[in-house]
Amino acid sequence: MSAEPRSPLPPRNAAAVPAPRLAPSRPAVARDDFTDFCDGVRRICGIDLSQYKRAQMERRVRTFVERQGSPDLAEYLRRIQKDKAELGDFLDRVTINVSQLWRNPDQWTRLERTVLPELFEQRRALNAWSAGCSYGAEAYTLAALSRAVAAKVGGAGGGANYRIEITGTDIDRRIVERARKGTFTADDARDAPSALLQRFFEPAGEGTWTARAELRPLVRFEAADLLRIPARKEQYDLVLCRNTVIYFTDDVRDALHAKLVASLRPGGYLVVGSTERVAHTTALGLVPAFPFTYRKEA
């Protein structure tokens, strides 16, 4: 994550979640050194660690602080207040940026065979959001697959006139800068189908792959905190939010899902990670369509 200072938090009730009954309530929390530390981090950089599952987050934080040679959380807080590089290292530790091209290949196969052809049939365009995009592997995989599907279903023109726009957002500014480079390691490419990998990415030395020029205009990346940005009302045909909410408390996860659904146009799809599920689907107007894939009712 970036060590850039962020703007002050909006008032706590300002999260623009369209389903108030799903908005996270904040029960009184017993104060201790960890809650004080979370408050301090929020003041320094705007990231609210209290929204993540406490047991996991606390373990990560305490292990890291100890490894950095700090005697306690209060001392470490003073350190990251003064030392931007240390704050950057700390934030890198608390977010988990693991990703890869074609991660969970079954999900991509379903998108390729069913969801993308259907969406292209409706609009000849795709406006998609990779929410929690890390270094861009998900957004670039979607760009490659969308271009391939558009070519298949696009008739004589080969889908060249189909408009494809993919926005990736992540809270971590440094990872967003890396995403903009569009370069991936051999390990990132380990599950990528060879024909599509070679068609849309080119070798860039030492086993790395970089997105070909054809893909680059299709993707853009923004640094944004999913918990603080307002819903992008009915803007997207497809939202991918995979392997990002697993660290959030259940209330925060549910409120975020509501926000993502509000950002989908009716008939659009939400895809979650292969160990995740969306709660309250009926209240959100979602219908399970495929495993880990929901359609917003039209």
Ligand X SMILES: C[S@@+](CC[C@H](N)C(=O)[O-])C[C@H]1O[C@@H](n2cnc3c(N)ncnc32)[C@H](O)[C@@H]1O
Does residue number 175 form part of the binding site for ligand X (CB under 6 A)?
Answer: yes
Does residue number 174 form part of the binding site for ligand X (CB under 6 A)?
Answer: no
Q: Which of 22, 49, 58, 95 binds ligand X (CB under 6 A)?
A: 95
Segment lying near ligand X (by CB under 6 A), choices 36-44, 56-64, 169-177, 204-212: 169-177
Map the footprint of ligand X across residues 182-221, applying CB under 6 A. none
The vertex-1 CA angle with 74 and 64, nearest 5°, equals 40
Does residue number 98 form part of the binding site for ligand X (CB under 6 A)?
Answer: yes
Least Å distance between CB 167 and ligand X? 12
Does residue number 61 form part of the binding site for ligand X (CB under 6 A)?
Answer: no
Q: Which of 167, 244, 263, 293 binds ligand X (CB under 6 A)?
A: 244
What CA–CA distance (Å, rounded) separates 273 from 244?
Answer: 8
Q: Where are the beta strands (DSSP E) in 89-206?
A: 125-131, 163-170, 183-184, 201-203
Q: Identify which of residues 51 and 162 has a Cβ nearer to ligand X in the complex.
A: 51
Q: How many CB atoms lie within 10 A of CB 155?
A: 7
Q: Identify which of residues 70 and 290 has a Cβ nearer to ligand X in the complex.
A: 290
Give φ, ψ of 131 to 5 degrees: -95, 115
Q: Identify which of residues 242 and 296 has a Cβ nearer to ligand X in the complex.
A: 242
Binding pattern to ligand X, positions 120-159, x when CB under 6 A?
------------xxx--xx---------------------
The vertex-128 CA angle with 255 and 162, nearest 5°, equals 160
Does residue number 38 form part of the binding site for ligand X (CB under 6 A)?
Answer: no
Count Cβ neighbours within 10 Å for each residue of 189-227 and write b for 16 or more, e otherwise: beebbeebbeebbeeeeeebbbbeeebeebbebebbbbb
What CA–CA distance (Å, rounded) separates 57 from 80?
Answer: 17
Q: Are 177 and 133 in contact (CB under 8 A)?
A: no
Q: Which of 38, 41, 149, 226 binds ligand X (CB under 6 A)?
A: 226
Point out which residues bind ligand X (CB under 6 A): 95-99, 103, 132-134, 137-138, 170-172, 175, 225-227, 242-244
